[in-house]
A = this chain, B = another copy of it.
């Protein structure tokens, strides 16, 4: 690609290393950035370095935050006795957007995956068990409905149930608005298994 300048090539390469950004998108973004006002470029670049250096794990729930404690753990309005365990901060955000969950969270930062070499020790499980020493009513396991998420849910339930704390798993089934015709068989069977009385 010697028809571009070296600096543009470097930028294209750096952008292309981000997830979901292919060669074409990286190229388009690079040219957009070069044509952006200088202060906007500086703002974007410093947002990156500042977020990287400034953000840390919440001391309680391990989500990403600026402070020692995240806004949710700090809030006196939240029910600290109900803990929803999620894989990452984006999943936490997804449940927060529903506006209906009033408990707190625990972010594992991943799921058990022998394929990717992620063992339970790599997740924030030790921190979760530490929290269970306080008075906790229920642990809601909301890891993804993938093989890794299910494996993590199984692992956690085997760990937590013996302590005597109620451990639940979010339901798996046909998504709202989903057409049965287009749903895979595993999900259909899961929906059947999880049927509730009307």
Residues of A whose CB lies within 8 Å of any CB of B are 1-8, 10-11, 13-15, 17-21, 25, 27-34, 36, 38, 40-55, 64-67, 70-72, 88-90, 92-93, 96
Report the copy number of this chain in the oligomer: 2
CB atoms of A28 and B92 under 8 A apart: no
CA distance A54 to B7 in the complex (A): 7
User: How far in angstroms is the closest Cβ of chain B from A78?
Assistant: 11
CB atoms of B71 and A2 under 8 A apart: yes
CB atoms of A55 and B3 under 8 A apart: no
Chain B residues lying within 8 Å of A90, measured Cβ to Cβ, are 27-28, 31
User: How far in angstroms is the closest Cβ of chain B from A187?
Assistant: 22
Closest B residue, CB atoms, query A66: B5
Chain B residues lying within 8 Å of A31, measured Cβ to Cβ, are 64, 88-90
CA distance A33 to B7 in the complex (A): 21
